[in-house]
């Protein structure tokens, strides 16, 4: 089926046929690789960050996440530890030897986040914060760009184009659910977007089932679904004690649940490899 989306160039499969593969501290993202980004929604303190880091590393996560600047709907909610949080994330990343990712929410604090982390995340609410995208385009670090909650697939790729048009080609896209009329889940996970993006673009596309559903019990099955659909990886919120989390507790996995998810993903990778072998015979 021919596509009728001509407005992005650098992000388009037309301009680059082979998959983009991004390498950060020995971890490869895109192409045949399966990335698993895990960690707490918000960095709360040293014990929480380090113990979660150890747990997710042990289970097989490939990138460590943790929020230091938190975009919260209410000004009265916990806004993040800011630089102090970034220091804890960096320390945790070094301890468990994993690259780190954290969200950047303004051009003003871009430099400081850039200094501490290996990958910079631009969140759903900032997907069309164009000055932030342009600043990201001047960074030499990879950008994890999340789909806005009412952004079309085309708009997501146009947002990537903003970054690329400034020179930064290392972009990881992330489907995290879109806003619909259904209220049972926080958002509606759109797995067809994974397929559309793989068709239209060479950029890696991962899936965040935590924000997509807002329900911890749905994360594991939808993580498997994302991988089998063709996502290049996952982003999952893990907290050692979700009941006391300062942010997004209901959608965070305990380390034991994350371990089970990782076993599933591992088997699924073997399964996919077997399937490829069967097909190539």
Which residues inside 105-164 make contact with its own copies, applying CB under 8 A?
Answer: 105-109, 125-126, 128-132, 134, 149-150, 152-155, 158, 161-162
Residue with tokens 């082979």: 18
Looking at the Cβ atoms of 10 and 61, the one nearer to its own copies is: 10
CA-based Rg of the chain, rounded to a whole angstrom?
18
Q: Which of 221, 241, 256, 273 binds its own copies (CB under 8 A)?
A: 221
**Count of residues of this chain found to bind its own copies when the rule CB under 8 A is applied:** 72
If one asks whether residue 196 binds its own copies (CB under 8 A), the answer comes out as: yes
State how beta strands 22-24 and 27-29 pair: antiparallel
Looking at the Cβ atoms of 63 and 261, the one nearer to its own copies is: 261
| Ranges within 46-85 binding its own copies (CB under 8 A) | 71-76
| Ranges within 235-254 binding its own copies (CB under 8 A) | 250
Q: Residue 87 is inside which H or E element, if any?
A: helix 83-96
Contact criterion met (CB below 8 Å) for 78 and 42: yes
Residue with tokens 């400081």: 112
If one asks whether residue 257 binds its own copies (CB under 8 A), the answer comes out as: no
Ramachandran area for residue 151 (φ above 0: left; ψ -120 to 50: alpha; else beta): beta
Burial label for 26, CB within 10 Å (0-12, 13-18, 19+), is exposed
Q: Which of 1, 18, 26, 280 binds its own copies (CB under 8 A)?
A: 1
Sequence-separated (6 or more) residues with CB below 8 Å from residue 4: none
Q: Which of 37, 144, 178, 261 binds its own copies (CB under 8 A)?
A: 178
Q: Which of 14, 241, 256, 275 binds its own copies (CB under 8 A)?
A: 275
Q: Is the four-CA dihedral 23, 199, 102, 212 of positive or negative sign?
A: negative
| Ranges within 200-219 binding its own copies (CB under 8 A) | 212-213, 215-218
> C-beta of 91: minimal distance to its own copies in Å?
25
> C-beta of 240: minimal distance to its own copies in Å?
19
If one asks whether residue 274 binds its own copies (CB under 8 A), the answer comes out as: yes
If one asks whether residue 271 binds its own copies (CB under 8 A), the answer comes out as: yes
Contact criterion met (CB below 8 Å) for 209 and 221: no
């Amino acid at each position: 089926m021919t596509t009728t989306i001509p407005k992005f160039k650098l992000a388009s499969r037309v301009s680059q046929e082979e998959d983009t593969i991004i390498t950060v501290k020995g971890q490869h993202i895109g192409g045949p690789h399966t990335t698993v980004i895990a960690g707490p929604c918000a960095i709360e303190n040293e014990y929480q960050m380090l113990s979660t880091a150890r747990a997710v590393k042990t289970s097989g996560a490939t990138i460590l996440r943790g929020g230091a600047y938190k975009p919260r709907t209410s000004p009265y909610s916990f806004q993040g530890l800011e630089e102090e949080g970034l220091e804890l994330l960096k320390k945790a990343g070094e301890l468990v030897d994993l690259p780190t990712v954290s969200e950047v929410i303004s051009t003003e604090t871009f430099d400081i986040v850039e200094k501490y982390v290996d990958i910079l995340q631009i969140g759903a609410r900032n997907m069309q914060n164009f000055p932030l995208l342009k600043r990201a385009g001047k960074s030499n670090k990879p950008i994890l760009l999340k789909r806005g909650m009412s952004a079309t697939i085309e708009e997501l790729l146009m947002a990537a184009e903003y970054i690329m048009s400034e020179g930064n080609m290392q972009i990881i896209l992330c489907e995290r659910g879109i806003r619909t009329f259904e209220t049972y889940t926080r958002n509606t996970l759109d797995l067809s977007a994974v397929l559309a993006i793989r068709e239209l673009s060479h950029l890696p596309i991962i899936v965040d089932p935590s924000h997509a559903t807002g329900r911890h019990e749905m994360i594991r099955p939808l993580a498997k679904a994302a991988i089998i659909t063709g996502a290049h990886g996952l982003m999952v919120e893990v907290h050692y004690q979700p009941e006391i989390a300062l942010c997004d507790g209901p959608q965070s996995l305990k380390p034991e649940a994350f371990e089970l998810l990782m076993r599933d993903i591992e088997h699924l990778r073997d399964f996919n490899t077997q399937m490829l072998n069967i097909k190539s015979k």
